A and B are shown apart, each in its own frame.
Chain A
Amino acid sequence: MDFRSSIPAAPVLSLYRRLLKESRSFPPYNYRTYALRRVRDAFRENRSVEDPKALEQLLNKACDSLAIIQRQVSIRKMYETQQTVVEPEPKNL
Protein backbone atom coordinates (compact mmCIF):
# COMPACT_ATOMS: atom_id res chain seq x y z
CA MET A 1 0.00 0.00 0.00
CA ASP A 2 1.24 3.40 -0.96
CA PHE A 3 0.82 6.10 1.65
CA ARG A 4 2.63 9.25 0.82
CA SER A 5 -0.19 11.34 2.25
CA SER A 6 -0.65 12.60 5.76
CA ILE A 7 -2.62 9.58 6.94
CA PRO A 8 -0.21 7.00 8.34
CA ALA A 9 -0.34 3.41 7.20
CA ALA A 10 -0.81 1.72 10.55
CA PRO A 11 -4.45 2.68 11.27
CA VAL A 12 -5.44 1.81 7.72
CA LEU A 13 -3.82 -1.61 7.92
CA SER A 14 -5.34 -2.25 11.32
CA LEU A 15 -8.76 -1.30 9.98
CA TYR A 16 -8.22 -3.63 7.04
CA ARG A 17 -7.26 -6.49 9.32
CA ARG A 18 -10.23 -5.87 11.59
CA LEU A 19 -12.58 -5.81 8.62
CA LEU A 20 -11.24 -9.13 7.39
CA LYS A 21 -11.40 -10.65 10.88
CA GLU A 22 -15.03 -9.62 11.34
CA SER A 23 -15.97 -10.79 7.84
CA ARG A 24 -14.50 -14.20 8.57
CA SER A 25 -16.96 -14.69 11.40
CA PHE A 26 -20.10 -14.31 9.22
CA PRO A 27 -21.96 -17.60 9.63
CA PRO A 28 -23.64 -17.65 6.21
CA TYR A 29 -21.25 -18.81 3.50
CA ASN A 30 -22.31 -16.35 0.83
CA TYR A 31 -22.10 -13.29 3.08
CA ARG A 32 -18.75 -14.39 4.46
CA THR A 33 -17.22 -14.89 1.04
CA TYR A 34 -18.75 -11.69 -0.30
CA ALA A 35 -17.54 -9.56 2.62
CA LEU A 36 -13.98 -10.90 2.43
CA ARG A 37 -13.86 -10.48 -1.32
CA ARG A 38 -15.39 -7.01 -1.33
CA VAL A 39 -13.16 -5.69 1.44
CA ARG A 40 -10.01 -6.96 -0.28
CA ASP A 41 -11.04 -5.63 -3.66
CA ALA A 42 -12.07 -2.25 -2.25
CA PHE A 43 -8.75 -1.75 -0.47
CA ARG A 44 -6.83 -2.96 -3.50
CA GLU A 45 -8.74 -0.61 -5.78
CA ASN A 46 -8.06 2.44 -3.61
CA ARG A 47 -4.50 1.69 -2.65
CA SER A 48 -2.99 4.55 -4.64
CA VAL A 49 -5.43 7.26 -3.60
CA GLU A 50 -3.42 10.21 -2.27
CA ASP A 51 -5.82 13.09 -1.77
CA PRO A 52 -6.23 13.33 2.04
CA LYS A 53 -9.91 14.36 1.83
CA ALA A 54 -10.76 11.41 -0.38
CA LEU A 55 -8.77 9.10 1.86
CA GLU A 56 -10.59 10.35 4.92
CA GLN A 57 -13.92 9.73 3.23
CA LEU A 58 -12.89 6.23 2.27
CA LEU A 59 -11.68 5.49 5.77
CA ASN A 60 -14.94 6.74 7.26
CA LYS A 61 -16.78 4.49 4.87
CA ALA A 62 -14.56 1.60 5.95
CA CYS A 63 -15.33 2.31 9.63
CA ASP A 64 -19.03 2.37 8.89
CA SER A 65 -18.69 -0.89 7.00
CA LEU A 66 -16.93 -2.43 9.97
CA ALA A 67 -19.82 -1.42 12.24
CA ILE A 68 -22.34 -2.85 9.77
CA ILE A 69 -20.45 -6.14 9.52
CA GLN A 70 -20.19 -6.40 13.31
CA ARG A 71 -23.92 -5.86 13.76
CA GLN A 72 -24.89 -8.23 10.99
CA VAL A 73 -22.55 -10.95 12.24
CA SER A 74 -24.21 -10.74 15.68
CA ILE A 75 -27.65 -10.99 14.15
CA ARG A 76 -26.73 -13.98 11.99
CA LYS A 77 -25.29 -15.71 15.03
CA MET A 78 -28.62 -15.33 16.80
CA TYR A 79 -30.47 -17.21 14.12
CA GLU A 80 -29.79 -20.59 12.58
CA THR A 81 -27.72 -20.62 9.40
CA GLN A 82 -27.80 -23.48 6.97
CA GLN A 83 -24.62 -24.88 5.50
CA THR A 84 -24.28 -24.92 1.75
CA VAL A 85 -23.04 -27.88 -0.25
CA VAL A 86 -19.76 -26.25 -1.19
CA GLU A 87 -18.76 -25.65 2.42
CA PRO A 88 -16.50 -28.19 4.13
CA GLU A 89 -18.48 -30.33 6.54
CA PRO A 90 -18.54 -29.26 10.16
CA LYS A 91 -15.71 -30.98 12.04
CA ASN A 92 -17.44 -31.20 15.37
CA LEU A 93 -20.92 -30.73 16.72
Chain B
Amino acid sequence: SDLSHQQGIFVHTTATHWIFSLFLSILFMFGCHCFQEQCCLFLPLQDPRVLDTMLPYQVNYYGNPHSRTHAYGWESEAAMEKARKQVADLIGADPREIVFTSGATESNNMSIKGVARFYKAKKKHVITTQIEHKCVLDSCRVLESEGFEVTYLPVKSNGLIDLQQLDETIRPDTSLVSVMTVNNEIGVKQPIKEIGHICRSKNLFFHTDAAQAIGKIPINVSDLKVDLMSISGHKIYGPKGVGALYVRRRPRVRIEPLQSGGGQERGLRSGTVPTPLAVGLGAACELAQQEMEYDHARVSVLANRLVQKIMSEVPDVVMNGDPEQRYPGCINLSFAYVEGESLLMALKDVALSSGSACTSASLEPSYVLRAIGADEDLAHSSIRFGIGRFTTEEEVDYTAEKCIQQVRRLREMSPLWEMVQEGVDLKSIKWTQH
Protein backbone atom coordinates (compact mmCIF):
# COMPACT_ATOMS: atom_id res chain seq x y z
CA SER B 1 0.00 0.00 0.00
CA ASP B 2 2.95 2.24 0.69
CA LEU B 3 4.25 1.49 -2.73
CA SER B 4 0.91 2.01 -4.36
CA HIS B 5 0.58 5.34 -2.58
CA GLN B 6 3.96 6.30 -3.87
CA GLN B 7 3.03 5.02 -7.24
CA GLY B 8 -0.13 6.98 -7.07
CA ILE B 9 1.80 10.16 -6.40
CA PHE B 10 4.22 9.25 -9.12
CA VAL B 11 1.42 8.75 -11.58
CA HIS B 12 -0.18 11.96 -10.45
CA THR B 13 3.08 13.84 -10.88
CA THR B 14 3.75 12.38 -14.29
CA ALA B 15 0.22 13.22 -15.31
CA THR B 16 0.69 16.81 -14.20
CA HIS B 17 4.02 16.89 -15.88
CA TRP B 18 2.53 15.53 -19.04
CA ILE B 19 -0.27 18.05 -19.05
CA PHE B 20 2.10 20.84 -18.14
CA SER B 21 4.56 19.98 -20.87
CA LEU B 22 1.75 19.59 -23.38
CA PHE B 23 0.48 22.99 -22.34
CA LEU B 24 3.97 24.43 -22.66
CA SER B 25 4.51 22.94 -26.07
CA ILE B 26 1.18 24.27 -27.31
CA LEU B 27 2.08 27.64 -25.90
CA PHE B 28 5.46 27.43 -27.56
CA MET B 29 3.90 26.40 -30.83
CA PHE B 30 1.58 29.36 -30.83
CA GLY B 31 4.22 31.58 -29.34
CA CYS B 32 6.49 30.34 -32.08
CA HIS B 33 3.88 31.27 -34.61
CA CYS B 34 3.51 34.75 -33.19
CA PHE B 35 7.08 35.63 -32.40
CA GLN B 36 8.96 33.82 -35.10
CA GLU B 37 8.38 36.00 -38.11
CA GLN B 38 7.24 33.81 -40.90
CA CYS B 39 8.84 34.88 -44.08
CA CYS B 40 6.72 36.19 -46.90
CA LEU B 41 6.26 34.18 -50.04
CA PHE B 42 7.22 35.38 -53.48
CA LEU B 43 10.29 37.10 -52.06
CA PRO B 44 12.75 37.83 -54.83
CA LEU B 45 15.80 35.87 -53.79
CA GLN B 46 19.46 35.84 -54.64
CA ASP B 47 20.51 32.60 -56.26
CA PRO B 48 22.86 30.67 -53.92
CA ARG B 49 25.15 29.95 -56.88
CA VAL B 50 25.61 33.70 -57.30
CA LEU B 51 26.62 34.12 -53.66
CA ASP B 52 29.04 31.24 -54.09
CA THR B 53 30.90 33.06 -56.88
CA MET B 54 30.88 36.35 -54.96
CA LEU B 55 32.18 35.17 -51.59
CA PRO B 56 35.83 34.60 -52.55
CA TYR B 57 35.94 38.28 -53.53
CA GLN B 58 34.50 39.33 -50.20
CA VAL B 59 36.72 37.03 -48.24
CA ASN B 60 40.02 36.87 -50.08
CA TYR B 61 40.56 38.80 -53.24
CA TYR B 62 40.38 42.40 -52.13
CA GLY B 63 42.48 43.94 -54.85
CA ASN B 64 41.30 47.06 -56.61
CA PRO B 65 40.58 45.99 -60.18
CA HIS B 66 41.93 49.29 -61.51
CA SER B 67 45.34 48.90 -59.91
CA ARG B 68 47.58 47.91 -62.71
CA THR B 69 50.77 47.34 -60.77
CA HIS B 70 50.28 44.29 -58.59
CA ALA B 71 48.89 40.77 -58.61
CA TYR B 72 45.97 41.62 -56.34
CA GLY B 73 44.78 44.15 -58.87
CA TRP B 74 45.30 41.78 -61.77
CA GLU B 75 43.23 38.99 -60.30
CA SER B 76 40.39 41.37 -59.44
CA GLU B 77 40.61 42.88 -62.88
CA ALA B 78 40.47 39.43 -64.47
CA ALA B 79 37.35 38.61 -62.47
CA MET B 80 35.73 41.91 -63.42
CA GLU B 81 36.47 41.39 -67.12
CA LYS B 82 35.12 37.86 -66.95
CA ALA B 83 31.92 39.23 -65.44
CA ARG B 84 31.74 41.86 -68.15
CA LYS B 85 31.91 39.15 -70.79
CA GLN B 86 29.17 37.16 -69.05
CA VAL B 87 26.87 40.19 -69.07
CA ALA B 88 27.71 40.93 -72.72
CA ASP B 89 27.05 37.34 -73.80
CA LEU B 90 23.57 37.43 -72.33
CA ILE B 91 22.52 40.28 -74.59
CA GLY B 92 24.66 39.57 -77.65
CA ALA B 93 26.97 42.52 -77.12
CA ASP B 94 30.71 43.06 -77.09
CA PRO B 95 32.27 43.21 -73.59
CA ARG B 96 33.69 46.66 -74.37
CA GLU B 97 30.12 47.91 -74.65
CA ILE B 98 29.23 47.07 -71.04
CA VAL B 99 29.61 49.64 -68.25
CA PHE B 100 29.12 48.58 -64.64
CA THR B 101 26.88 50.88 -62.62
CA SER B 102 25.16 50.84 -59.25
CA GLY B 103 21.92 49.57 -60.71
CA ALA B 104 19.29 50.12 -63.38
CA THR B 105 18.31 53.47 -61.85
CA GLU B 106 21.79 54.83 -62.41
CA SER B 107 21.92 53.29 -65.89
CA ASN B 108 18.62 54.94 -66.78
CA ASN B 109 19.78 58.29 -65.45
CA MET B 110 23.08 58.00 -67.35
CA SER B 111 21.39 57.13 -70.64
CA ILE B 112 18.64 59.70 -70.64
CA LYS B 113 20.48 62.65 -69.17
CA GLY B 114 23.76 61.69 -70.81
CA VAL B 115 22.51 61.38 -74.37
CA ALA B 116 20.19 64.40 -74.18
CA ARG B 117 22.89 66.65 -72.74
CA PHE B 118 25.58 65.51 -75.17
CA TYR B 119 23.51 66.35 -78.21
CA LYS B 120 21.76 69.37 -76.74
CA ALA B 121 23.30 71.84 -79.16
CA LYS B 122 21.20 70.59 -82.05
CA LYS B 123 18.63 68.23 -80.53
CA LYS B 124 16.24 69.27 -77.83
CA HIS B 125 13.50 66.65 -77.91
CA VAL B 126 13.18 63.35 -76.04
CA ILE B 127 10.38 60.80 -76.32
CA THR B 128 9.34 58.31 -73.66
CA THR B 129 6.15 56.59 -72.53
CA GLN B 130 3.75 57.19 -69.68
CA ILE B 131 4.35 53.78 -68.12
CA GLU B 132 8.10 54.00 -67.69
CA HIS B 133 9.84 53.38 -64.40
CA LYS B 134 9.88 56.30 -61.99
CA CYS B 135 13.60 56.94 -62.52
CA VAL B 136 13.08 57.40 -66.26
CA LEU B 137 10.15 59.75 -65.76
CA ASP B 138 12.00 61.71 -63.12
CA SER B 139 15.12 62.03 -65.31
CA CYS B 140 12.89 63.39 -68.06
CA ARG B 141 11.41 65.86 -65.62
CA VAL B 142 14.91 67.09 -64.79
CA LEU B 143 15.61 67.47 -68.51
CA GLU B 144 12.46 69.52 -68.90
CA SER B 145 13.67 71.88 -66.20
CA GLU B 146 16.90 72.23 -68.19
CA GLY B 147 15.00 73.39 -71.24
CA PHE B 148 14.41 70.15 -73.13
CA GLU B 149 11.06 69.14 -74.53
CA VAL B 150 9.80 65.73 -73.54
CA THR B 151 6.86 63.88 -75.04
CA TYR B 152 5.31 61.22 -72.83
CA LEU B 153 3.60 58.85 -75.27
CA PRO B 154 0.30 57.44 -74.09
CA VAL B 155 -0.34 53.70 -74.22
CA LYS B 156 -3.32 51.74 -75.47
CA SER B 157 -5.61 50.01 -73.03
CA ASN B 158 -3.54 46.85 -73.34
CA GLY B 159 -0.42 48.70 -72.21
CA LEU B 160 1.41 48.73 -75.56
CA ILE B 161 2.43 51.88 -77.37
CA ASP B 162 1.04 52.82 -80.75
CA LEU B 163 3.88 52.53 -83.28
CA GLN B 164 2.15 54.87 -85.70
CA GLN B 165 1.92 57.51 -82.98
CA LEU B 166 5.60 57.09 -82.16
CA ASP B 167 6.49 57.54 -85.81
CA GLU B 168 4.50 60.75 -86.00
CA THR B 169 5.90 62.14 -82.75
CA ILE B 170 9.52 61.85 -83.87
CA ARG B 171 10.89 65.23 -84.96
CA PRO B 172 14.14 66.18 -86.67
CA ASP B 173 15.42 67.45 -83.34
CA THR B 174 14.65 64.29 -81.36
CA SER B 175 17.78 62.78 -79.87
CA LEU B 176 16.45 59.85 -77.87
CA VAL B 177 13.52 57.46 -77.53
CA SER B 178 13.24 55.51 -74.26
CA VAL B 179 10.78 52.62 -73.96
CA MET B 180 11.05 49.86 -71.38
CA THR B 181 11.14 46.27 -72.63
CA VAL B 182 8.94 44.64 -70.00
CA ASN B 183 6.89 46.74 -67.61
CA ASN B 184 7.47 46.00 -63.97
CA GLU B 185 3.87 46.55 -62.87
CA ILE B 186 1.74 44.91 -65.51
CA GLY B 187 4.29 42.74 -67.29
CA VAL B 188 3.58 43.84 -70.86
CA LYS B 189 6.26 43.40 -73.50
CA GLN B 190 6.67 46.38 -75.82
CA PRO B 191 7.36 45.85 -79.55
CA ILE B 192 11.05 46.66 -79.11
CA LYS B 193 12.18 45.28 -82.46
CA GLU B 194 9.77 47.51 -84.37
CA ILE B 195 10.64 50.55 -82.27
CA GLY B 196 14.33 49.89 -82.88
CA HIS B 197 13.68 49.71 -86.60
CA ILE B 198 11.83 53.05 -86.57
CA CYS B 199 14.56 54.76 -84.55
CA ARG B 200 17.35 53.40 -86.74
CA SER B 201 15.57 54.58 -89.87
CA LYS B 202 15.14 58.05 -88.42
CA ASN B 203 18.70 58.20 -87.14
CA LEU B 204 18.11 58.69 -83.46
CA PHE B 205 19.13 56.74 -80.38
CA PHE B 206 16.97 54.10 -78.74
CA HIS B 207 17.28 53.36 -75.05
CA THR B 208 15.41 50.57 -73.31
CA ASP B 209 15.13 49.77 -69.63
CA ALA B 210 15.46 46.01 -69.76
CA ALA B 211 15.69 45.40 -66.02
CA GLN B 212 12.66 43.12 -65.95
CA ALA B 213 13.35 41.46 -69.28
CA ILE B 214 17.00 40.44 -69.03
CA GLY B 215 17.51 36.77 -68.45
CA LYS B 216 13.78 36.12 -68.73
CA ILE B 217 13.23 36.54 -72.45
CA PRO B 218 15.93 36.23 -75.13
CA ILE B 219 17.45 39.59 -75.98
CA ASN B 220 19.92 40.44 -78.71
CA VAL B 221 20.86 44.10 -78.95
CA SER B 222 21.76 43.88 -82.63
CA ASP B 223 18.55 42.09 -83.49
CA LEU B 224 16.49 44.65 -81.62
CA LYS B 225 18.57 47.61 -82.86
CA VAL B 226 18.94 48.95 -79.35
CA ASP B 227 21.61 51.56 -78.65
CA LEU B 228 21.45 51.72 -74.85
CA MET B 229 20.14 49.14 -72.43
CA SER B 230 19.80 49.23 -68.64
CA ILE B 231 20.46 46.06 -66.68
CA SER B 232 19.67 45.42 -63.04
CA GLY B 233 21.47 42.90 -60.83
CA HIS B 234 18.83 42.06 -58.28
CA LYS B 235 16.11 41.45 -60.86
CA ILE B 236 17.98 38.41 -62.20
CA TYR B 237 18.65 36.88 -58.78
CA GLY B 238 21.95 38.66 -58.42
CA PRO B 239 23.15 41.07 -55.76
CA LYS B 240 21.57 44.42 -54.99
CA GLY B 241 23.62 47.52 -55.64
CA VAL B 242 24.96 46.62 -59.05
CA GLY B 243 23.73 46.89 -62.59
CA ALA B 244 25.09 47.62 -66.02
CA LEU B 245 24.54 49.82 -69.00
CA TYR B 246 25.01 48.64 -72.55
CA VAL B 247 26.35 51.44 -74.74
CA ARG B 248 26.64 50.69 -78.43
CA ARG B 249 30.00 51.25 -80.12
CA ARG B 250 28.97 50.87 -83.73
CA PRO B 251 27.40 53.30 -84.54
CA ARG B 252 28.94 55.08 -81.59
CA VAL B 253 26.67 56.48 -78.89
CA ARG B 254 28.15 59.45 -77.05
CA ILE B 255 27.12 60.19 -73.49
CA GLU B 256 27.92 63.04 -71.18
CA PRO B 257 28.96 61.18 -68.01
CA LEU B 258 27.04 61.78 -64.80
CA GLN B 259 29.85 60.83 -62.48
CA SER B 260 33.27 62.47 -62.92
CA GLY B 261 36.50 61.09 -61.57
CA GLY B 262 39.38 58.83 -62.54
CA GLY B 263 37.95 57.85 -65.91
CA GLN B 264 37.05 54.23 -65.13
CA GLU B 265 34.61 52.35 -67.37
CA ARG B 266 35.76 54.16 -70.53
CA GLY B 267 35.26 57.50 -68.79
CA LEU B 268 31.52 56.97 -68.76
CA ARG B 269 31.26 56.08 -65.10
CA SER B 270 34.14 56.91 -62.83
CA GLY B 271 34.50 55.14 -59.54
CA THR B 272 35.97 51.84 -58.39
CA VAL B 273 33.98 48.95 -59.74
CA PRO B 274 32.79 46.80 -56.83
CA THR B 275 34.47 43.54 -57.83
CA PRO B 276 32.34 41.16 -55.71
CA LEU B 277 29.13 42.74 -56.97
CA ALA B 278 30.28 42.78 -60.58
CA VAL B 279 31.30 39.12 -60.29
CA GLY B 280 27.85 38.40 -58.84
CA LEU B 281 26.15 40.20 -61.71
CA GLY B 282 28.20 38.25 -64.24
CA ALA B 283 27.39 34.94 -62.57
CA ALA B 284 23.70 35.85 -62.43
CA CYS B 285 23.72 36.66 -66.14
CA GLU B 286 25.43 33.41 -67.05
CA LEU B 287 23.00 31.44 -64.93
CA ALA B 288 20.08 33.31 -66.44
CA GLN B 289 21.21 32.35 -69.91
CA GLN B 290 21.54 28.69 -68.96
CA GLU B 291 18.27 28.51 -67.09
CA MET B 292 16.16 30.79 -69.28
CA GLU B 293 14.21 28.10 -71.08
CA TYR B 294 13.62 25.99 -68.00
CA ASP B 295 12.59 28.99 -65.88
CA HIS B 296 10.33 30.44 -68.55
CA ALA B 297 8.45 27.17 -69.00
CA ARG B 298 8.00 26.78 -65.26
CA VAL B 299 6.97 30.37 -64.62
CA SER B 300 4.38 30.18 -67.43
CA VAL B 301 2.83 27.05 -65.92
CA LEU B 302 2.73 28.55 -62.43
CA ALA B 303 1.36 31.88 -63.63
CA ASN B 304 -1.40 30.13 -65.55
CA ARG B 305 -2.21 28.08 -62.50
CA LEU B 306 -2.50 31.15 -60.29
CA VAL B 307 -4.65 33.11 -62.71
CA GLN B 308 -6.92 30.17 -63.58
CA LYS B 309 -7.46 29.34 -59.94
CA ILE B 310 -8.36 32.86 -58.96
CA MET B 311 -10.48 33.69 -61.98
CA SER B 312 -12.46 30.47 -61.85
CA GLU B 313 -13.44 30.99 -58.22
CA VAL B 314 -13.94 34.73 -58.04
CA PRO B 315 -15.99 36.83 -60.48
CA ASP B 316 -15.20 40.38 -61.58
CA VAL B 317 -11.42 40.05 -61.76
CA VAL B 318 -9.56 41.90 -64.49
CA MET B 319 -6.04 41.15 -65.66
CA ASN B 320 -4.28 44.39 -66.56
CA GLY B 321 -2.14 44.45 -69.65
CA ASP B 322 -2.12 42.59 -72.93
CA PRO B 323 -2.77 38.86 -72.44
CA GLU B 324 -0.40 37.82 -75.24
CA GLN B 325 2.43 40.36 -75.34
CA ARG B 326 3.60 39.85 -71.81
CA TYR B 327 6.12 38.22 -69.56
CA PRO B 328 4.13 35.54 -67.65
CA GLY B 329 5.90 36.06 -64.33
CA CYS B 330 4.44 39.50 -63.65
CA ILE B 331 0.69 39.41 -63.17
CA ASN B 332 -1.45 42.37 -62.22
CA LEU B 333 -5.04 41.63 -61.26
CA SER B 334 -7.75 44.10 -60.34
CA PHE B 335 -10.48 42.88 -58.02
CA ALA B 336 -13.63 44.94 -58.45
CA TYR B 337 -15.49 46.10 -55.35
CA VAL B 338 -12.55 45.34 -53.07
CA GLU B 339 -10.27 47.94 -51.54
CA GLY B 340 -6.69 47.27 -52.63
CA GLU B 341 -4.90 48.24 -49.43
CA SER B 342 -7.22 46.12 -47.30
CA LEU B 343 -6.58 43.15 -49.56
CA LEU B 344 -2.84 43.73 -49.31
CA MET B 345 -3.03 43.84 -45.52
CA ALA B 346 -5.13 40.70 -45.50
CA LEU B 347 -2.50 38.95 -47.58
CA LYS B 348 0.40 40.23 -45.54
CA ASP B 349 2.23 36.93 -45.38
CA VAL B 350 2.62 36.95 -49.12
CA ALA B 351 5.05 39.53 -50.49
CA LEU B 352 2.79 41.27 -52.97
CA SER B 353 2.50 44.88 -53.86
CA SER B 354 -0.26 47.11 -55.09
CA GLY B 355 2.08 49.05 -57.31
CA SER B 356 5.79 48.68 -57.30
CA ALA B 357 8.39 49.01 -54.57
CA CYS B 358 9.21 52.51 -55.76
CA THR B 359 5.67 53.73 -55.40
CA SER B 360 4.61 51.65 -52.44
CA ALA B 361 5.21 54.48 -50.01
CA SER B 362 2.36 56.53 -51.44
CA LEU B 363 -1.29 55.66 -51.48
CA GLU B 364 -1.82 57.07 -54.93
CA PRO B 365 -3.16 54.56 -57.41
CA SER B 366 -0.52 53.38 -59.79
CA TYR B 367 0.20 55.76 -62.65
CA VAL B 368 0.72 52.76 -64.91
CA LEU B 369 -2.83 51.57 -64.37
CA ARG B 370 -4.11 55.09 -64.90
CA ALA B 371 -2.18 55.26 -68.15
CA ILE B 372 -3.81 52.09 -69.50
CA GLY B 373 -7.15 53.66 -68.75
CA ALA B 374 -8.18 51.48 -65.84
CA ASP B 375 -11.17 52.77 -63.86
CA GLU B 376 -10.18 54.74 -60.77
CA ASP B 377 -11.66 52.14 -58.43
CA LEU B 378 -10.14 49.22 -60.31
CA ALA B 379 -6.77 50.95 -60.24
CA HIS B 380 -7.08 51.18 -56.46
CA SER B 381 -7.91 47.51 -56.05
CA SER B 382 -5.11 45.96 -58.02
CA ILE B 383 -2.51 43.51 -56.82
CA ARG B 384 0.72 42.59 -58.53
CA PHE B 385 1.97 38.99 -58.26
CA GLY B 386 5.55 38.21 -59.20
CA ILE B 387 6.49 34.60 -59.98
CA GLY B 388 10.12 33.61 -60.38
CA ARG B 389 12.73 30.90 -60.43
CA PHE B 390 12.26 29.93 -56.81
CA THR B 391 8.47 30.05 -56.60
CA THR B 392 6.88 26.72 -55.73
CA GLU B 393 3.50 25.24 -56.54
CA GLU B 394 2.60 25.29 -52.86
CA GLU B 395 3.25 29.02 -52.70
CA VAL B 396 1.07 29.63 -55.73
CA ASP B 397 -1.75 27.49 -54.35
CA TYR B 398 -1.53 29.11 -50.93
CA THR B 399 -1.61 32.57 -52.46
CA ALA B 400 -4.53 31.76 -54.74
CA GLU B 401 -6.57 30.28 -51.89
CA LYS B 402 -5.80 33.09 -49.50
CA CYS B 403 -6.63 35.63 -52.19
CA ILE B 404 -9.96 33.98 -53.01
CA GLN B 405 -10.84 33.73 -49.32
CA GLN B 406 -9.97 37.35 -48.54
CA VAL B 407 -11.64 38.77 -51.65
CA ARG B 408 -14.85 36.97 -50.73
CA ARG B 409 -14.61 38.20 -47.15
CA LEU B 410 -13.97 41.80 -48.14
CA ARG B 411 -16.72 41.76 -50.72
CA GLU B 412 -19.15 40.46 -48.13
CA MET B 413 -18.38 43.53 -46.07
CA SER B 414 -18.71 45.88 -49.00
CA PRO B 415 -22.00 47.75 -49.51
CA LEU B 416 -21.02 48.31 -53.15
CA TRP B 417 -20.90 44.57 -53.72
CA GLU B 418 -24.35 44.20 -52.20
CA MET B 419 -25.71 46.79 -54.59
CA VAL B 420 -24.06 45.17 -57.57
CA GLN B 421 -25.60 41.83 -56.61
CA GLU B 422 -28.99 43.48 -56.58
CA GLY B 423 -28.39 44.73 -60.08
CA VAL B 424 -27.70 48.38 -59.33
CA ASP B 425 -25.45 50.14 -61.80
CA LEU B 426 -22.87 51.83 -59.60
CA LYS B 427 -22.12 54.53 -62.10
CA SER B 428 -25.72 55.70 -62.00
CA ILE B 429 -25.66 56.35 -58.28
CA LYS B 430 -25.74 59.94 -57.21
CA TRP B 431 -23.96 60.09 -53.91
CA THR B 432 -25.43 62.83 -51.75
CA GLN B 433 -23.20 65.30 -50.04
CA HIS B 434 -23.85 66.35 -46.49
Contacts and interface: CB of A to CB of B under 8 A. Distances in A.
A56 interface: no
Interface in B1-59: 28-29, 32-33, 36-41, 43, 45, 48-49, 51-52, 55
A28 B390 CA distance: 11
Contacts of B173: none
A6 interface: no
Contact of B52 (A71, A82, A90, A93): A71
Interface string A51-93: 0000000000000000011011001100000111110011001
A29 B315 CA distance: 33
B422 to A, nearest CB: 37
A5 interface: no
Contacts of B391: 30
A30 B38 contact: no
A18 to B, nearest CB: 17
A75 B398 CA distance: 29
A27 to B, nearest CB: 11
Chain A binding site: helix, strand, loop or mixed by DSSP? helix
Contacts of A69: 48
A68 B48 CA distance: 8
Given A34-B389, A86-B394, A72 B48 contact: yes
Interface residues of B, number: 27
A16 B389 CA distance: 22
B37 A82 contact: yes
Contact of B29 (A33, A68, A89): A89
Contacts of A90: 32
A72 B52 contact: yes
A50 interface: no
A26 to B, nearest CB: 8
A54 to B, nearest CB: 15
Nearest to A83: B38
Contact of B51 (A72, A84, A86, A89): A72
B52 A86 contact: no
Interface of A: 26, 29-31, 33-34, 41, 68-69, 71-72, 75-76, 82-86, 89-90, 93
28 contacts: A30-B391, A31-B45, A33-B390, A33-B392, A34-B389, A41-B294, A68-B48, A71-B52, A72-B49, A72-B52, A75-B55, A82-B36, A82-B37, A82-B38, A83-B36, A83-B38, A84-B39, A84-B41, A84-B395, A85-B39, A85-B41, A85-B349, A85-B398, A86-B392, A86-B398, A89-B29, A93-B28, A93-B32
